[in-house]
Amino acid sequence: MYILADCIDELQDEYAFAAPLVKRAKDEAFKAALEDGILDLFAALHKDVDRTCQERSFWIESIAVTIPAHWTLEFEDVYTSILTRTFWSEERKPQITFISEIEALVHALVKDRPVSIGLNTTAPDYVCLFQDFGGHSSSVCLVFIRVPSQENGAKTSFYRLGEARGVGGDSEEWEHRVFDGGKSRLERLVDRPLNSIETRAYLDMFNYYKRDLQPGGSQCISFTAKNQAVQMGVADITNHFYAAHQTCFELFETGLEELCGTARQKMVQQRLTELCTAQGLKEPVFIDRYETDRDNSWTKVQLFGLQRMEKRWNRKRLWTNSAAFLRDKKYLAILEELEFREDDEAKIICDPFFSATSKNDVLNVDRCYDVTPVFKPGLGVWTIELRLDWEDSDEVWYLSLRKQRTGDIPQRKRKMRKAIGTRAGRARGRPAAKASIPPILTRPTWKSYPLYLDAASNCVLVGKPDKTLAEVSMEADTA
């Protein structure tokens, strides 16, 4: 593929064992032979796929190709050309898409084997560095993963944090270096190139013993020809291993720095502080520890809203695209006379970058995140109160939510709902379900969620700097 994509420089830098191919890269007859061989391979594959599709009455609508992470558009162009000549027809022109091998690996592990990589619902948010040691290449991919609680039935979701990256080299490169090093020594010892029989015997012996070879181990390997022998010792094997994996280790080191190198990480802060004090400098100032003025900061961020999902006439179960403000100069807001049907849902959302000078009457939900879990008030008329409280002992703001059912939906609307429900029930051959009406609470309770102002991003976040959102929600439920 490197030859056909005209990426000789990358091939020469990353794959020492491809030197014979590099020498013939400008040979057009050689390139044509390579292309014909790949076309024959894909033509045979297409026959097998086509036979399977006919047996099961399937047809091909799309083709997904996994490629190394460092392959560029030139490689995709070669693949597309080959696939269109083998899998396309006048009747069917399947869509061709490309995905890196490590992204396919991430998808399989997260979706099919989450337990094998340590995912569980006790800690819903993860940032994971996936590393793929391949045969001829290595790659890394930094991924954010969210594991939902089992109660809400949502699926695990994930997305990349940046692009997947890869380099050539790895185990096949190491095997080539050990093999080629021993072969070169043996040829110098017998003062002639090895013939095909000797090369085959040498290769068979190497393949038999290579599984026991490892850097820093005790296993050596000897090769003989014409009663002459050479030995590849532990030092040779170890040196070739690190030479073949140098670019791979550099790539992984970069990935680890991105995963753990943030200055918000306590060990990183400790190390940076030690480095500064050792040089006689003052301790560094970390932005997330910066003290902010409590009142002045929070008067700019009264930006909470109530978002609803009215399931009546809402088959797609879409949330409203706006949210009524919950804000007041006294850190207290009340929404009254809110009518909810039995299955309607609601949640409190927050715009972390909202400006107090904005003249909008509703929040832009595209910029908001959920503050509270989704709740179902139930059938009736409700009053929802929201307030902000400062707790001196904890030095933290608390967002407190209280909801109270204050009455029934007016009779005219309830009759209309009953009539619609009855007709729908008869159309399906069953009576309409009766709505369960929650009792009117005389002393509703407050549920509180801690908030903190993140100085680095200058926005309000749910929870505490040293606690996960899952821990905070659990504390609110048990309070």
Summarize pLDDT for 375-413 with one digit per residue, the tens. 888 888 888 887 777 777 666 778 888 888 888 877 655
Give me the domains of the chain, ranges plus CATH numbers.
8-101 (no CATH), 106-168 (no CATH), 175-256 (3.90.640), 294-410+436-478 (no CATH)
Q: Is the pLDDT of residue 52 over 50?
A: yes
- Tens of pLDDT, residues 195-230: 888 888 877 877 787 777 777 777 788 877 778 888
Q: How confident is the model at residue 424 (pLDDT cuts 50, 70, 90)?
A: very low
- Between 204 and 140, name the one with better pLDDT: 140
| pLDDT confidence tier of residue 318, bands split at 50, 70 and 90 | low
Q: What pLDDT, in 10s, does the model give residues 407-419?
A: 887 765 544 444 3
What pLDDT score was predicted for residue 41?
92
Across 24-28, 332-336, 430-434, which has the greatest mean pLDDT?
24-28
Average pLDDT for the chain = 75
Average of per-residue pLDDT across 306-334: 64
Three-state helix/strand/coil letters over the chain: CCCCCCCHHHHHHHCHHHHHHHHCCCCHHHHHHHHHHHHHHHHHHHHHHHHHHHHHCCCCCEEEEEECCCCCHHHHHHHHHHHHHHCCCCCCCCEEEEEEHHHHHHHHHHHHCCHHHCCCCCCCEEEEEEEEECCCEEEEEEEEEECCCCCCCCCCEEEECCCCEEEECCHHHHHHHHHHHHHHHHHHHHCCCCCHHHHHHHHHHHHHHHHHCCCCCCCCEEEEECCEEEEECHHHHHHHHHHHHHHHHHHHHHHHHHHHCCCCCHHHHHHHHHHHHHCCCCCCCCHHHCCCCHHHHHCCCCCEEEEEECCCCCCCCCCCCEEEEECCCCCEEEEEEEEECCCCEEEEEECCCCCCCCCCCEEEHHHCEECCCCECCCCEEEEEEEEEEEECCCCEEEEEEEEEEEECCCHHHHHHHHHHHHHHHHHCCCCCCCCCCCCCCCCCCCEEEEEEEECCCCEEEECECCECHHHHHHHHHHC
